[in-house]
């Protein structure tokens, strides 16, 4: 609050010492103490010939206790989420420098990782699985076959060489697979391994995010498997 100055120094000094204080804002939240104070007022002012019904009073107290309990439960959930986030971040930090299997056929070729390892999932044993490798522009780089007679998850590795046997340039490449299932040609699910370079904490409670070399981020919860190399 500003003080209006006058030509009289004595009056100005009096006004300066009489500045009004702004009262602190009070919370509009009804506390347990406020509730029992109102309940006491209600009991003291009730008609002796028409007292408050016991069931009604118990219902009021139970309602307040329920609301108060929900508030405390929300606080506990927030604390639990913080603990879980910290625990997940600690767990994810142990994956830095390792490779994780992600639900995508996209892999990254670089000087540090000159080949791409992947897993082809088959619903049944397949004599021959055809594997295709394409670059980021969708151009076919190489085609080769692997044995799928064991069925289930089949390990696949591309050596990073094109159809002419020349090393490809650094970048992302997509591995896809197909085979004959029950007599018909069918696309098969491909998962690839990627190198974890760092870990980030996701915003909005999304959890830990693994940053993969050349590919980007993926949630820790989306990782299918972990490999040392």
What b/e sequence results for 27-44 when a residue is b if at least 16 CB atoms lie within 10 Å of its CB, and e otherwise? eeeeeeeebeeeeeeeee
* Strands in 159-228 per DSSP E: 171-181, 184-201, 208-212, 216-219, 225-227
Domain boundaries, the chain: 99-194+221-227
Cα separation, 5 vs 13, whole angstroms: 9
The mean per-residue pLDDT over the stretch 161-165 comes to 94
Fold (topology level) of 99-194+221-227: Immunoglobulin-like (2.60.40)
pLDDT in tens, 32-69: 666 667 666 666 666 565 655 555 656 666 666 676 66
pLDDT in tens, 78-88: 665 555 556 66
Cβ atoms of 108 and 215 closer than 8 Å: yes
Give the rounded percent of residues in the chain with a pLDDT score beyond 90: 46
What b/e sequence results for 13-26 when a residue is b if at least 16 CB atoms lie within 10 Å of its CB, and e otherwise? eeeeeeeeeeeeee
Query: What backbone phi and psi angles, to 5 degrees, belong to 143?
Result: -130, 135
The mean per-residue pLDDT over the stretch 75-99 comes to 69
- Two tokens, residue 108: 């990254």
Residue ranges of the alpha helices (H) in the chain?
Answer: 9-17, 32-44, 54-93
The confidence band for 229, taking pLDDT boundaries of 50, 70 and 90, is low
- Between 16 and 102, the more confident residue is 102
- Two tokens, residue 36: 């029992």
Give the rounded percent of residues in the chain with a pLDDT score beyond 70: 59
**Does residue 160 register a pLDDT over 70?**
yes
Q: How many CB atoms lie within 10 A of CB 223?
A: 17
3-state secondary structure of 21: coil
Q: Which residue has the tokens 């309602």?
A: 63
Q: Which of 110-114, 166-170, 187-191, 203-207 has the lowest mean pLDDT?
A: 203-207
Q: How many CB atoms lie within 10 A of CB 166?
A: 9
3-state secondary structure of 220: helix
């Amino acid at each position: 609050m500003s003080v209006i100055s006058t030509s009289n120094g004595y009056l100005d000094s009096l006004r300066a010492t009489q500045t009004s204080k702004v009262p602190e804002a009070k919370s509009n939240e009804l506390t347990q103490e406020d509730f029992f104070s109102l309940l006491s007022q209600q009991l003291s002012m009730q008609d002796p010939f028409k007292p408050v019904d016991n069931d009604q009073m118990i219902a009021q107290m139970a309602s307040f206790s329920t609301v108060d309990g929900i508030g405390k439960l929300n606080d506990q959930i927030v604390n639990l989420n913080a603990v879980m986030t910290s625990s997940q971040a600690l767990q994810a930090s142990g994956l830095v420098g390792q490779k994780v299997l992600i639900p995508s056929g996209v892999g990254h070729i670089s000087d540090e990782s000159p080949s791409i390892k992947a897993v082809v999932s088959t619903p049944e044993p397949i004599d021959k699985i055809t594997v295709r490798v394409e670059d980021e522009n969708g151009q076919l780089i190489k085609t080769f076959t692997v044995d799928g007679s064991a069925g289930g998850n089949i390990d696949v590795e591309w050596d990073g060489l094109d159809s002419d046997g020349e090393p490809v340039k650094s970048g992302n490449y997509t591995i896809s697979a197909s085979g004959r299932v029950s007599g018909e040609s069918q696309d098969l699910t491909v998962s690839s391994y990627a190198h974890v370079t760092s870990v980030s904490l996701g915003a909005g409670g999304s959890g830990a995010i693994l940053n993969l070399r050349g590919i980007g981020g993926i949630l820790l919860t989306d990782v299918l498997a972990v490999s040392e190399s």
